[in-house]
Amino acid sequence: MDLMNYVDGKFQAHTGEEWLDVVEPATGRQFARVPLSSPSDVDSAILAARRAQPEWGGLSHSERADWLEIIADELESRYEDIASLESRDTGKPISLARAVDANRSVANFRFFADMIRDHRGEVFEMADADNFVTYRPVGVGALITPWNLPLYLLSWKVAPAIGMGNTVVCKPSEMTPLTANLLMEVIDKVGLPSGVVNLVHGNGDGAGSCLVSHSDVDLVSFTGGTSTGAKVAASASPHFKKISLELGGKNSSIVFADCDLKKTIEGVGRAAFLNQGQICLCGSRVLVQESIYDEFVEGFIDSVESLKIGDPSEESTQLGALISSDHLQKVKEYVSIAKDEGGHFLTGGDDLKIRSSLSRDLEGGYWMAPTVIGGLSPDSRCSTEEIFGPVVTVHRFKTEEEAIEIANGTRYGLAGSVWTEDLEKGRRVAEGIRTGMVWVNTWLHRDLRTPFGGVGDSGVGREGGKWSLGFFSETLNVCVKR
Ligand code: NDP
């Protein structure tokens, strides 16, 4: 399967001769190729977006909302394709790809269609004048997305960006381009005006960096790793582009003695290992109040060991493969670091048991057992750096203050969860954590109207609901004296 760029309403061959292999994580086999796009491919896409912007930006909110609905309907008709392509491309279980990736991708377009249809300017009255605030398109947007939730995150950017009248150039991760290609098929099929949405495939250092640093791009919405985010910020800043950075995380799940133990074990396990722990919001450090530490750990390990790992295309699979050989290597390095740092493995740490249970077809895949490590200091590398895999560290704490101090002991500040039957304490502790989002007695329970984003090494800015509409627009205030 050879994919093509989508520029100015057409699937187009790239200008060079080079391709990048797309590998299936569950088998380690190449199954598709994407163009290694050149700067001139990026230029063409930006030019198409620039040409299309005035007319598209001139449509009413309700006309653009209608287009988002049309895209949502067509995407929904390809629900099963989204799930199976995403599962094959990322190695995640098919049930997860349906419930999370396919569902949310459609929901993102519907949600922003409704929001944009109802979106109005504001009026601020003074004694002798009125201020009229209107929201105008920013211009051409560069949308850069990672491999862990490919279409979920791309649709989260495309829908509000074009809904607010911008035109865009997308650059998905070279490792997971298939559903971005599917979105272009959908856009092509419904006949969205040419140039409104463009896509260039390629690698980050090439097409990605060329796109974000281009002088004719007005805004950059980037989701990815913290060190890449720093490069993106540096190349976007000389042109004073609007920029939103959704970066890495090292999130704590804080378990108090008064929690509902059964629900907490289930919730903390989901937070730790969903998508093989490859979600920026995953709770990869579990802080447990001393008096229930042993009881919690025993139940937690039982539940982790019962997770079914294997073929992502099987309905009953709960954990799939990691994204790539390099990433697996990086995660395993942290396992070695944990050993050096004095950690002891409560479960996992290797892939021997998994390998013996896999069919021959899956032997070349990137597998790792869910791993829980105790005995590490909360300021050890494994407990403070983002591992982004199925590896969790467990720590004890005595008081609320100590739990907050440990939770705040990383440079990241994206998310977290607190588990207690005392809801007032839950809120109090949540508000003590230096982070962007905290759930109490739940995790990844998303209301799309709420702000999403982090502080510190987890990024700059918020997306979601009215925050997305604000980011993907420029406000104008006109003050009229009566
Ligand atoms: P990367 O930072 O490696 O890549 C993200 C995207 O940026 C990819 O499309 C990549 O292209 C591209 N890219 C790489 N280098 C550059 C560059 N110099 N200029 C422009 N674009 C570039 O992240 P991963 O794909 O490895 O994703 C995992 C990371 O994403 C984790 O740290 C995770 O926490 C974070 N993340 C954050 C989320 C949030 O909302 N805060 C949500 C999901 C993930 P290519 O892959 O082709 O090289």
- Ligand 1 in contact with 171 (CB < 6 A)? yes
412 lines ligand 1 (CB under 6 A): no
- Report domain extents, the chain: 5-247+458-481, 251-447
Rounded to the nearest whole angstrom, what is the distance from the C-alpha of residue 225 to the centroid of ligand 1? 5
Name the residue among 255, 229, 271, 171 with its Cα closest to residue 454: 229
Separation CA 48–CA 26 (nearest Å): 37
84 C-beta closer than 6 A to ligand 1: no
Q: Which CATH class is domain 251-447?
A: alpha beta
199 lines ligand 1 (CB under 6 A): no
Ligand 1, closest atom to CA 235? 19
Residue 460 CA, ligand 1 centroid: distance in Å? 15
For the chain, the C-alpha Rg in angstroms (whole number) is 23
Distance (Å) from CA 217 to ligand 1 centroid: 19
Q: Is 152 in the pocket of ligand 1 (CB under 6 A)?
A: no
Q: Whose CA is nearest to atom 25 of ligand 1?
A: 146
> pTM value?
0.97
Q: Which residues are catalytic?
A: 246, 280
Which CATH superfamily does the domain covering 5-247+458-481 fall into?
Answer: Aldehyde Dehydrogenase; Chain A, domain 1 (3.40.605.10)
Mean pLDDT, contiguous 10-residue spans, the chain (482 residues): 97 95 97 97 98 98 98 98 98 98 98 96 98 98 98 98 98 98 98 98 96 97 98 94 97 98 98 98 98 98 96 96 97 97 94 78 95 98 98 98 98 98 98 98 98 98 97 98 96
Collect all residues with Cβ–Cβ distance below 8 Å to 191 and sequence separation of at least 6: none
CA–CA separation, 311 and 374 (whole Å) = 29
- Would you list the DSSP string of 246-300? E----EEEEE-TTS-HHHHHHHHHHHHHGGGG-STT-EEEEEEEGGGHHHHHHHH
Which pLDDT score, from 0 to 100, does residue 353 have? 72
Q: Helices marked H in 306-373 — which ranges?
A: 325-340, 352-357
Residue 352 pLDDT: 67
Predicted pLDDT at 357: 81
A 10 A CB-CB count for 450 gives: 12
pLDDT of residue 408: 98
CA–CA distance, 476 with 19 (Å, rounded to integer): 44
CA pair distance 74, 44, nearest whole angstrom: 27
Say if 5-247+458-481 and 251-447 have the same CATH topology: no
For residues 252 and 264, give the distance between their C-alpha atoms in angstroms, rounded to a whole number. Answer: 13
Ligand 1 atom 19: residue of nearest CA: 209
Which of 321, 297, 301, 295 is closest to 309 using CA atoms?
321
- Rounded Cα distance, 162 and 364, in Å: 41
Name the residue among 174, 26, 176, 22 with its Cα closest to residue 94. Answer: 26
144 pocket-lining for ligand 1 (C-beta < 6 Å): yes
Burial 231-244 (b: 16+ CB within 10 A, else e): bbbebbeeeebbbb
Instruction: State the distance from the centre of ligand 1 to the C-alpha of 145, rounded, in angstroms.
Output: 6
